[in-house]
């Protein structure tokens, strides 16, 4: 729960900055956070769905099928081949022996809480000098969405339609607002003025 009158919206991370962060976390031995951020940004899932993932679902697999906790809808996700390599590297580094084990266990062998991950994300933001105002668990989902729209280029409107369906939004305008695109478009209006 947030404080009254506080700003709770998360921001996306630039794609290349996210990839660099994932690599640095891995190199520094923070394997689980490297895996969490990479899966979060490549899958576009809510944190509650990410935290329920088990190794058997994502290891050596080209697709992931889940029932989303919030919407109760079935979702099929294609696992990028490069991400598959990172998942395998993380698996090996962590010396996992039980594939039915959840992917995101803390040192105490319990699944991370969302609150704890948000605290860790604040520490990561500071330690790695991440250029994002509000970095939280939801930033991963927004990073996924922004990258899809960016990569779509001239097909951005079509990408927004697909994202709207993936995110289970009621309409494309909701997806625009969610990704912060609507605000950017409105602020660009001020650039039309000359002095």
Residue recorded with tokens 């979702």: 75
Give the helix ranges, DSSP H, for the chain. Answer: 15-27, 31-43, 47-51, 55-58, 81-93, 114-127, 137-152, 156-166, 172-178, 181-187
Burial 174-194 (b: 16+ CB within 10 A, else e): ebbebbbbeeeeeeeeeeeee
Q: Is residue 102 part of a domain?
A: yes
Q: Is residue 5 part of a domain?
A: no
> What is the 8-class DSSP label of residue 191?
G
- 80 and 39 co-located in one domain: yes
Give this prediction's pTM: 0.85
- 103 and 65 co-located in one domain: yes
- 159 and 130 co-located in one domain: no
Q: Is residue 44 part of a domain?
A: yes
Mean pLDDT of the chain, nearest integer: 90
- 182 and 115 co-located in one domain: no
- 49 and 81 co-located in one domain: yes
Name the region of 140 (left: φ>0; alpha: ψ -120 to 50; beta: rest): alpha
User: At residue 105, what are phi and psi to the nearest 5 degrees?
Assistant: -95, 145
- 104 and 131 co-located in one domain: yes
- 114 and 183 co-located in one domain: no
pLDDT average, residue stretch 91-110: 95
**pLDDT for 110-169, tens place per residue?**
999 999 999 999 999 999 999 999 999 999 999 999 999 888 888 888 888 888 888 888
Domain span at residue 56 reads 15-146
- 52 and 26 co-located in one domain: yes
- 135 and 79 co-located in one domain: yes
Q: Is residue 7 part of a domain?
A: no
- 161 and 128 co-located in one domain: no
- 89 and 42 co-located in one domain: yes
- What is the DSSP secondary-structure string of 141-164? HHHHHHHHHHHHGGGHHHHHHHHH
The structural domain count of the chain equals: 2
CB count within 10 Å of CB 116 equals 12
Residues 6+ apart with CB under 8 A from 187: none
Residue where a domain stops, chosen among 113, 130, 146? 146
Q: Is residue 9 part of a domain?
A: no
- 38 and 90 co-located in one domain: yes
The answer to whether residues 58 and 39 touch, using CB atoms and an 8 Å cutoff, is yes
Burial 21-55 (b: 16+ CB within 10 A, else e): bbeebbeeebbbbbbbbbbbbbbbbbbebbbbbeb
Residue where a domain stops, chosen among 146, 169, 184? 146
Q: Is residue 171 part of a domain?
A: yes
Q: Tell me the C-alpha distance between 115 and 1, whole Å.
A: 10
**pLDDT for 168-191, tens place per residue?**
888 888 888 888 877 766 677 677
């Amino acid at each position: 729960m947030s404080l009254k009158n506080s700003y709770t919206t998360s921001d996306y991370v630039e794609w290349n900055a996210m990839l660099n962060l994932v690599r640095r976390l891995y190199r520094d031995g923070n394997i689980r956070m490297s895996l969490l951020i990479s899966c979060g940004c490549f899958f576009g899932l809510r944190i509650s769905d990410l935290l329920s993932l088990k190794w058997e679902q994502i290891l050596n697999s080209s697709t992931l099928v889940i029932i989303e906790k919030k919407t109760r809808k079935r979702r099929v996700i294609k696992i990028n081949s490069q991400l598959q390599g990172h998942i395998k590297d993380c698996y090996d580094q962590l010396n996992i022996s039980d594939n039915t084990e959840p992917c995101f266990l803390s040192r105490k062998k319990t699944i991370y809480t969302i609150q704890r991950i948000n605290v860790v994300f604040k520490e990561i933001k500071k330690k790695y000098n991440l250029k994002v105002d509000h970095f939280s668990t939801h930033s991963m989902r927004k990073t996924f969405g922004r990258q899809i729209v960016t990569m779509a280029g001239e097909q951005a409107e079509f990408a927004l339609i697909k994202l709207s369906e993936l995110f289970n939004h009621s309409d494309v305008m909701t997806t625009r607002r969610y990704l912060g695109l609507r605000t950017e478009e409105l602020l660009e209006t001020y650039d039309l003025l000359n002095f």
